[in-house]
């Protein structure tokens, strides 16, 4: 009996062990591949390696924007969380001592890191909850789980507190870090602008990606998975940085590695190296650019008038100068942001606005180029056509004045022909010419010169300006001298001058030298019109009595231009006319065209022409230098 | 006479049983060594804990204890069985008030802190229950209802105290002990089946009133590990991956990725079976099961050869304890049972676990090497 029952016990043990073996046979033989795959899923992780953003360089190779590795002091929240209350105070105090900051500020920065993390988590949480892809209960569970994982993830990463610390500070922080859990020194890529304010509006700046962008480009950016955007990326906010953001953005490296349970890499399975983004070479000529910026800055300093200047190579449409004054330093942009937008201070000049392409002004007398074209092309105006200027012009009950009219002395330009009228910028002459040509014709030719439409420059935020269709003769008179509701950007004005310089080609300006540029449209100006315009614009600069003669003429290079003095309503403490100058150089075989505007700067010949003169002189010097250099090369070759 | 006795003892020494135990301990040390590596970045070993060396020392001590245990004839302890039982129950009560538990689970009290290490009274209590049940049942020809009540009370008291610690895994070991011992002592089968049925019926009550939340969580995680990814489910998933990915022949000693990449926690103690299955595969599992079956069958063989009723019941009790522990540990490693925190006898790292296991085979071997002449013939045999 006992032995039988022992056998039953033995059979029972045998059965239990049989169950173990059966289960193992199922798991290890039948389902082995499934478990291996499950293991791989958890052990093999993809790491995305950030790639540096491409540089932006000027035509001569001057670096305007580049990614630079910078030392930064970061906090790792997971370790920081282990500190006691007293230790936290010591932590703040030690770091404050290293950084020369106050413990309160350090605490504030740490707080900002934490609230930033929570904000991101909250955003993802709401995103999950609003996705509607599952039942509300399950979504809540998923959101909670994701939030937990995300927090764990973010807490284990180095979150920057101070970026761009000095080498000494980094060394001190590194030395202190064993006693300060959660303190880490690391190197991260920071967008820097070595030339500071130079061409800041053209270059633009970068910012953190918005949640919408993360959403849209989180997996792929314009179909490129390696360029996908994550929260540690930057995106171009304005200027070239924005326009060519996709090209500038580097292709991420992809590292497939086996990780252990703590996420530490073990073995690299595959590795795609990160690729730096495309280098964008701009047509900007740093010397001309700085000459233009200095000229505008001097006006701002002495007379508080902001302004803008554009200069382009008329043969290619390359933009050599794109200046807007005042500017800002993109390196310290975020720190300066409050001051830059403070309406009581610098902010009243709107330093962030790119006046060269995004602002439009009444054009004033520069429009007379178009009035001349409209008249001559409609055969209502000839170089020999004469009108008499008595300083004032009457139309019905309306009274329109010439620039030289003043109430005490009733003076006018007298009887003058077209070239003299251009040279002296007589309003009365062009009232007559404009009326003869008709409002429709003025509008048509203005459109042909590219007004009322964007130029197509490779920059975001370009304005079209405003081109009115004159309804009655009063409007026509206003438009014929560039007044009324006409609004033109400096770039559009520069294009008018370029069209005269190129013999009637409406070129598309561009900053990126490799940009695909379409063939220029023809404005359709006849040769005789061009000759008259060039002659008149030449006289305005180079003949005594010309509007730009006194302040604009230079011996360095003969150039042609047209001044403009546009009446404008006052803005704040700024009152007076907008001062315009548009022209091209050299006058006989044009290579560059330019346009300058000084807001409320007064007379175009006085305020804007000197900037043009400076640009032309710098261009002439550069050209001479190039010629010398070329001559030197030739001589060197001969000597050998 | 003494010489004769020693010679007799040697003749009855169960070499097969000892060889199986020695093989298991050796395998155990090898895998403890494999499981004591902590890897850091790039597979570099950031820490190699000296568990294998410690285990080897404990194995030597345990073997010493084992042989010392063979010297006195087991029948001498018959009179000490009751005091020993009372002592262990007192220790179990003591531990509820003054015991310590694992640092990560506050409120759990399992061990008594000694100057050099810990004493786990529940391990003593298992043996004490086997002893007292053997003592109580030895002359009962066919245990009746009253005997069953006494037996279940004797086993149930320490079991409840252990449950209170709480230590579900160890408490579980007390359950089959009275059943098996009653069975081999000749209790009526339908009595026992009624008790088993009643026990199963009591599970819902037990679930509602007695189980702690974390225990329920573990149980739920066992059923659906995917839902408890970060917490309780982690161990289930990763131990199953370790086991399944081992395949037929395993990944080789020291080459298990789940093991070396720190995916398994408690891998040198409760989850060493997963490590063995990952690195030695199904073949390793067969070997292990075979070795354990040798121990069980040797034990049952000793019981069959022993005519003296206390000894043979005692051996059956000890074998039951070992077999249950092996099955529960294997079951939780391969997903047949919820995780309860039990070591794998002879293999898992830990001095007290090793000592307790050797203590158990020591009792078995003692009964084997000290045959008692019983002058009662066939008629005495339980009927």
Q: What is the DSSP string of B146-186?
A: HHHHHHHHHHHHHHHHHHHTT-HHHHHHHTHHHHHHHHHHT
Q: Where are the domains of chain A?
A: 49-222+234-281, 286-626
Name A608's Cβ contacts closer than 8 Å, sequence gap at least 6. Answer: A307, A563, A579, A580, A581, A596, A597, A598, A601
Q: Are A463 and A360 in contact (CB under 8 A)?
A: yes
Question: Looking at the predicted structure, is the pLDDT value of residue A635 above 60?
Answer: no
Helical segments of A56-176, H only: 77-80, 85-99, 103-131, 136-155, 167-176
Residues of A in Cβ contact (< 8 Å) with B300:
6, 9-10
CB proximity A148 to B under 8 Å: yes
Most A CBs within 10 Å, among B37, B188, B244, B307, to test the A interface: B244
The pLDDT tens digits for A563-605 are 999 888 888 778 888 999 999 989 899 999 999 999 998 888 8
Name A508's Cβ contacts closer than 8 Å, sequence gap at least 6. Answer: A317, A455, A456, A457, A517, A518, A520
Q: What is the DSSP string of A234-275?
A: -EE-SHHHHHTHHHHSPBPEEEEEEE-TTS-EEEEEEEE--B
Neighbours of B109 (CB within 10 A): 17
* CA distances for A516 relative to A203, A457, B39, angstroms: 19, 11, 54
CB proximity A13 to B under 8 Å: yes
**A257 DSSP β-pair partners:** A45, A268
pLDDT score for B379: 39
The pLDDT tens digits for A366-375 are 999 999 999 9
Residues of B in Cβ contact (< 8 Å) with A259:
261
CA distance linking residue B38 with residue B49, whole number of Å: 8
More confident residue, A137 or A606: A606
CA distance linking residue A541 with residue A535, whole number of Å: 10
Strand order, beta sheet including A265-272:
A44-49, A253-259, A265-272
Question: Looking at the predicted structure, is the pLDDT value of residue B28 above 60?
Answer: yes
Name A461's Cβ contacts closer than 8 Å, sequence gap at least 6. Answer: A238, A354, A357, A358
CB proximity A149 to B under 8 Å: yes
CB contact under 8 A, A266 and B261: yes
Q: B247 vs chain A: nearest CA distance in angstroms?
A: 4
Q: Are A481 and A367 in contact (CB under 8 A)?
A: yes
Within 13 Å of residue A418, how many CA atoms lie on the same side as its CB?
A: 26
What is the pLDDT confidence band of residue B230, given thresholds at 50, 70 and 90? Answer: low
Question: Looking at the predicted structure, is the pLDDT value of residue B383 above 90?
Answer: no
Which positions 266-295 of A are in contact with B (Cβ < 8 Å)?
A: 266-267
The pLDDT tens digits for A408-458 are 766 788 888 998 998 888 888 999 999 999 899 999 999 999 999 999 999
Question: Looking at the predicted structure, is the pLDDT value of residue A55 above 90?
Answer: yes
Averaged pLDDT, A197-203: 93
CB proximity A21 to B under 8 Å: yes
CB contact under 8 A, A261 and B262: yes
CB contact under 8 A, B334 and A16: no
ipTM score assigned to the predicted complex: 0.90
Q: Where are the domains of chain B?
A: 2-72+160-371
Q: What is the maximum alpha-carbon separation in chain A?
A: 144
Q: Could you tell me whether strands A280-281 and A56-57 are parallel, antiparallel, or unpaired per DSSP bridges?
A: parallel
Question: Looking at the predicted structure, is the pLDDT value of residue A116 above 50?
Answer: yes
CA closest to B304 among chain A residues: A3
The pLDDT tens digits for B328-343 are 999 989 888 888 888 8
Q: A37 vs chain B: nearest CA distance in angstroms?
A: 8
Question: Looking at the predicted structure, is the pLDDT value of residue A10 above 90?
Answer: yes
CB contact under 8 A, A13 and B243: no
The pLDDT tens digits for A286-329 are 999 999 999 999 999 888 899 999 999 999 999 999 999 899 99
CA distance linking residue A30 with residue A20, whole number of Å: 15
CA closest to A23 among chain B residues: B334
**Residues A538, A540, A543, A544: what is their CA dihedral angle, to the nearest 10 degrees?**
-170
Residues of B in Cβ contact (< 8 Å) with A42:
238, 241, 263
Question: Looking at the predicted structure, is the pLDDT value of residue B229 above 80?
Answer: no
CA closest to B323 among chain A residues: A13
Residues of A in Cβ contact (< 8 Å) with B281:
28
Averaged pLDDT, B254-273: 82
What is the pLDDT confidence band of residue B382, given thresholds at 50, 70 and 90? Answer: very low
pLDDT score for B46: 66
CA closest to A41 among chain B residues: B241
CA distance linking residue A555 with residue A532, whole number of Å: 23
* Nearest in space to B268 (alpha carbons), one of B349, B356, B343: B349
What is the pLDDT confidence band of residue B375, given thresholds at 50, 70 and 90? Answer: low
**A48 DSSP β-pair partners:** A254
Question: Looking at the predicted structure, is the pLDDT value of residue A636 above 50?
Answer: no
CA closest to A266 among chain B residues: B42
Q: How many residues does chain B have?
A: 383
CB contact under 8 A, A16 and B323: yes
Assigned fold of A286-626? Beta-lactamase (3.40.710)
Q: Are A359 and A568 in contact (CB under 8 A)?
A: no
Alpha-carbon B352 to chain mean position: 11
pLDDT score for A629: 66
CA closest to A142 among chain B residues: B227
Q: What's the mean pLDDT when you consider all of chain A? A: 87
Q: How many residues does chain A have?
A: 640
Neighbours of A169 (CB within 10 A): 18
- What is the CATH code of the structural domain delimited by A49-222+234-281? 3.90.1310.10
CA distance linking residue B371 with residue B7, whole number of Å: 13
Between A166-180, A579-593, B255-269, the lowest mean confidence (pLDDT) is in B255-269
CB contact under 8 A, B285 and A20: yes
The pLDDT tens digits for A16-35 are 999 999 999 999 888 888 98
Q: Are B285 and B272 in contact (CB under 8 A)?
A: no
Q: A165 vs chain B: nearest CA distance in angstroms?
A: 28
More confident residue, A65 or B258: A65
pTM, rounded to two decimals: 0.69
CA distance linking residue B134 with residue A357, whole number of Å: 101
Helix or strand holding residue B112 (H, E): strand B112-114
What is the pLDDT confidence band of residue A215, given thresholds at 50, 70 and 90? Answer: confident
Q: What's the mean pLDDT when you consider all of chain B? A: 85
CB contact under 8 A, A9 and B180: yes
Nearest to B41 among A6, A32, A264 (CB): A264
Pairs of CB atoms within 8 A across A/B: 139
What is the pLDDT confidence band of residue B105, given thresholds at 50, 70 and 90? Answer: low
Residues of A in Cβ contact (< 8 Å) with B364:
none
pLDDT score for A638: 43
Nearest to A43 among B261, B289, B327 (CB): B261
CB proximity A11 to B under 8 Å: no
The pLDDT tens digits for B242-251 are 888 888 898 8
Q: B206 vs chain A: nearest CA distance in angstroms?
A: 24
Question: Looking at the predicted structure, is the pLDDT value of residue B30 above 80?
Answer: yes
CB contact under 8 A, A1 and B303: no
- Identify the top-confidence range among A500-504, B226-230, B314-318: B314-318
Averaged pLDDT, A111-128: 85
CA closest to B180 among chain A residues: A9
Q: How is residue A322 annotated by DSSP? A: E
Q: Are B159 and B171 in contact (CB under 8 A)?
A: yes
Between A102-111, A341-350, B170-179, B306-315, the lowest mean confidence (pLDDT) is in A341-350
């Amino acid at each position: 009996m006992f032995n039988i029952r022992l056998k039953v016990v033995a059979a029972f043990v045998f059965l239990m062990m049989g169950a173990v073996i059966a289960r193992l046979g199922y798991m290890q033989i039948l389902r082995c591949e499934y478990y291996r795959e499950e293991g791989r899923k958890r052990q093999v992780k993809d790491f995305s390696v950030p790639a540096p953003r491409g540089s932006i360089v000027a035509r001569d190779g001057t670096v305007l924007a580049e990614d630079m590795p910078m030392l930064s002091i970061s906090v790792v929240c997971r370790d920081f969380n282990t500190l006691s209350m007293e230790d936290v105070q010591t932590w703040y105090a030690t770091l404050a001592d290293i950084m020369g900051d106050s413990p309160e500020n350090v605490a504030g920065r740490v707080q900002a890191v934490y609230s930033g993390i929570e904000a991101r988590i909250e955003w993802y949480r709401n995103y999950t909850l609003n996705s509607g892809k599952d039942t509300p209960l399950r979504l809540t569970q998923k959101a909670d789980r994701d939030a937990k994982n995300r927090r764990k993830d973010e807490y284990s990463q180095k979150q920057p507190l101070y970026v761009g610390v000095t080498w000494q500070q980094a060394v001190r922080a590194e030395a202190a870090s064993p006693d300060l859990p959660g303190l880490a020194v690391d190197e991260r890529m920071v967008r820097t602008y070595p030339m500071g304010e130079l061409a800041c509006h053209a270059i633009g700046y970068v910012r953190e990606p918005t949640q919408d962008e993360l959403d849209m480009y989180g997996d792929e950016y314009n179909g490129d998975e390696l360029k996908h955007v994550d929260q540690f990326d930057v995106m171009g906010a304005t200027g070239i940085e924005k326009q060519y953001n996709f090209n500038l953005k580097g292709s991420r490296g992809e590292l497939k590695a086996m990780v252990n349970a703590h996420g530490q890499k073990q073995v690299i399975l595959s590795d795609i190296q990160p690729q730096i983004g495309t280098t964008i070479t701009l047509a900007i000529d740093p010397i001309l650019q700085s000459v233009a910026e200095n000229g505008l800055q001097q006006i701002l300093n002495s007379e508080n008038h902001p302004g803008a200047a554009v200069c382009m190579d008329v043969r290619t449409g390359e933009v050599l100068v794109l200046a807007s004054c005042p500017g800002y330093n993109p390196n310290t942009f975020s720190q300066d942001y409050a001051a830059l937008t403070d309406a009581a201070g610098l902010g009243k000049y709107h330093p962030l606005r790119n006046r060269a392409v995004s602002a439009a002004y009444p054009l004033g007398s520069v429009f007379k180029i178009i009035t001349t074209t409209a008249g001559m092309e409609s055969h209502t105006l000839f170089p020999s056509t004469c009108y008499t200027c008595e300083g004032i012009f009457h139309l019905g009950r309306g009274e329109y004045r010439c620039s030289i009219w003043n109430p005490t002395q009733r003076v006018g330009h007298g009887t003058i022909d077209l070239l003299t009228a251009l040279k002296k910028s007589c309003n009365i002459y062009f009232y007559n010419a404009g009326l003869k040509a008709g409002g429709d014709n003025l509008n048509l030719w203005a459109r042909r010169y590219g007004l009322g439409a964007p130029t197509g420059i490779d920059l975001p935020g370009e304005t079209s300006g405003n081109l009115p269709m004159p309804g009655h003769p009063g409007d026509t008179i206003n438009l014929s001298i560039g007044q009324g509701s006409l609004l033109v950007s400096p770039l559009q004005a520069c294009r008018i001058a370029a069209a005269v310089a190129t013999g009637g080609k409406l070129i598309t300006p561009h900053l990126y030298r490799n940009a695909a540029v379409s063939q220029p449209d023809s404005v359709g100006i006849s040769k005789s019109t061009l000759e008259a315009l060039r002659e008149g614009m030449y006289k305005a600069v180079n003949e005594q009595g010309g509007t730009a003669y006194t302040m604009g003429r230079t011996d360095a290079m003969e150039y042609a231009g047209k001044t403009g003095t546009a009446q404008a309503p006052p803005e704040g403490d700024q009152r007076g006319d907008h001062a315009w100058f548009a022209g091209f150089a050299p006058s006989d075989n044009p290579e560059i065209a330019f346009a300058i505007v000084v807001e409320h700067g007064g007379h175009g010949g006085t305020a804007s022409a000197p900037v043009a003169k400076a640009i032309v002189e710098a261009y002439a010097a550069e050209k001479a230098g190039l010629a010398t250099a070329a001559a030197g090369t030739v001589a060197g070759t001969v000597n050998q | 006479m003494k010489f004769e006795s020693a010679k007799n003892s040697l003749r009855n020494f169960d070499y097969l049983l000892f060889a199986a135990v020695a093989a298991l301990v050796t395998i155990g040390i090898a895998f403890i060594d494999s499981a004591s590596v902590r890897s850091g970045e790039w597979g570099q070993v950031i820490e190699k804990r000296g568990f294998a060396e410690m285990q080897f020392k404990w194995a030597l001590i345990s073997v010493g204890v084992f042989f010392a245990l063979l010297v006195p004839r087991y029948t001498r302890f018959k009179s000490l069985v009751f005091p020993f039982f009372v002592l262990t129950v007192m220790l179990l009560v003591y531990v509820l008030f003054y015991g310590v538990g694992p640092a990560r689970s506050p409120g759990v009290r399992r061990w008594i802190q000694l100057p050099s290490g810990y004493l786990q009274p529940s391990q003593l209590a298992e043996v004490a229950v086997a002893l007292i049940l053997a003592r109580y049942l030895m002359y009962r020809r066919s245990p009746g209802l009253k005997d069953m009540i006494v037996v279940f009370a004797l086993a149930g008291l320490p079991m409840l105290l252990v449950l209170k610690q709480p230590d579900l895994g160890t408490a579980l070991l007390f359950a089959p002990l009275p059943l098996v011992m009653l069975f081999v002592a000749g209790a009526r089968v339908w009595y026992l089946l009624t008790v088993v049925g009643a026990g199963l019926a009591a599970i819902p009550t037990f679930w509602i009133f007695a189980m702690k939340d974390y225990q329920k969580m573990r149980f739920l995680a066992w059923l659906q590990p995917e839902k408890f990814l970060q917490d309780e489910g982690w161990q289930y998933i990763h131990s199953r991956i370790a086991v399944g990915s081992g395949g037929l022949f395993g990944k080789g000693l020291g080459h298990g990725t789940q093991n070396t990449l720190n995916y398994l926690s408690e891998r040198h103690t409760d989850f060493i079976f997963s490590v063995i299955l990952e690195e030695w595969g199904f073949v390793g599992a067969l070997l292990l099961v075979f070795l354990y079956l040798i121990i069980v069958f040797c034990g049952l063989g000793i019981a069959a050869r022993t005519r003296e009723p206390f000894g043979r019941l005692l051996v059956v009790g000890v074998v039951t304890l070992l077999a249950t522990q092996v099955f529960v540990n294997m079951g939780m490693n391969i997903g047949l049972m919820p995780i309860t925190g039990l070591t794998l006898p002879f293999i898992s790292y830990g001095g007290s676990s090793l000592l307790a296991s050797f203590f158990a085979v020591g009792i078995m071997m003692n009964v084997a090497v000290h045959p008692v002449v019983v002058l009662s013939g066939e008629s005495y045999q339980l009927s």
